[in-house]
Amino acid sequence: MILATALLWSAGGTFVKVLTLEKFGYQMDPRAVACLRSAAAGLFLAWALPRLRGAPRWRAAASGLAYTVVVGSFVVATAWTSAANAIFLQYAYPLFVAVGAVVLFHERLGRRTQVALALGLAGVAVILVFSWSADDWAGLLWGLTSSVTFAALALLQHSIKRGSPIALCSLYNLTAAALMLPLAWGHLGAPPAAYLLVATMGILQLGVPYVLFIAGMRRVRATDGALITLVEPILNPVWVWLIVGEPTGRATLVGGAFILVALVVRFVGLRRRP
């Protein structure tokens, strides 16, 4: 189930490119894609909303705001720079989580975590410095924004112990759709086929995989689940290259390798303490 989750998640870059690039005939605004995708996912999971009872309101509201920035900035980053840049920058988020855990929860940084942070930040620096251009700089900044806010979302979720995860996911997506609607308003025009594609993206690339992820994580170790999801940043640029024809730059490959190695150093071989 977690492998299926990662496979479905990895299609996100391809969906965004097909919907936003002129050569495919849709040429949707990325803000409209982000808004409508979240609306589709939120409505698909809305059946679970009654299970929100007990969830802390202010933390759920803060999570909804963070989630809005995560999904919105990722779509914009994928549209404005290469899919590989966007996904590898976003997957640096566990490293920012480690820093946040020290500040907020007074966790200690072990040697492996320190090495992982150094490698991961080096990878982010390689992507930002050597992929920086007049055409890509805005997309790179949005990708980094997605990573930092994803870390904030993860830290908030760590503190939420009550409320159905599926219900929370529906709430976050509906919040994201509502908050992004003013930005997307005036850019929502598209062919009927584009709306169908966005709905498919919201359900199959956000809604269904989230349900599979929740169910799968109840059956495996958290570390194993986290490592399996590394399939996403590996496959995301591959699908974009095969379907869209977008190449991956050498700096992105090097920087992405640093980030993936950092995550492996941080998580592989860890044993849960009693």
pLDDT, tens digit, 9 for 90 and up, residues 182-195: 999 988 888 899 99
Which tokens is 20 given?
Answer: 């936003």
Mean pLDDT across the chain: 84
Residue 274 inside a domain? The answer is no
Residue 129 lies in a domain: yes
Q: Quick check: is 272 in a domain? A: no
Beta carbons within 8 Å of 119's beta carbon, 6+ residues apart: 258, 259, 261, 262, 265
As for how many domains the chain has, the answer is 1
Which parts of the chain fold into alpha helices (H)? 2-9, 12-20, 30-44, 57-80, 83-90, 93-105, 111-130, 137-158, 165-184, 192-201, 208-217, 222-228, 231-243, 250-267
pLDDT (0 to 100) of residue 202: 93
What integer pLDDT is reported at residue 40 of this predicted model?
Answer: 94
Residue 133 clears pLDDT 80, i.e. is over it: no
> pLDDT (tens digit, 9 = 90+) per residue, 24-79?
888 899 999 999 999 999 999 999 999 888 888 888 899 899 999 988 998 899 88
Residue 6: predicted pLDDT: 87
Stronger pLDDT, 161 or 141, i.e. the higher one: 141
The amino acid present at 70, given as its one-letter code, is: V
Torsion angle, CA of 92/138/75/218, rounded to 10 degrees?
A: 10
Domain that holds residue 212: 2-267
- 148 part of a folded domain: yes
- 1-24 per-position pLDDT tens digit: 888 988 998 999 899 999 998 888
The more confidently predicted of residues 59 and 225 is 59
Q: What is the DSSP string of 136-196?
A: THHHHHHHHHHHHHHHHHHHHHHT--SS-HHHHHHHHHHHHHHHHHHHHTT-----HHHHH
* pLDDT (0 to 100) of residue 225: 66
The pTM assigned to this predicted structure is 0.80
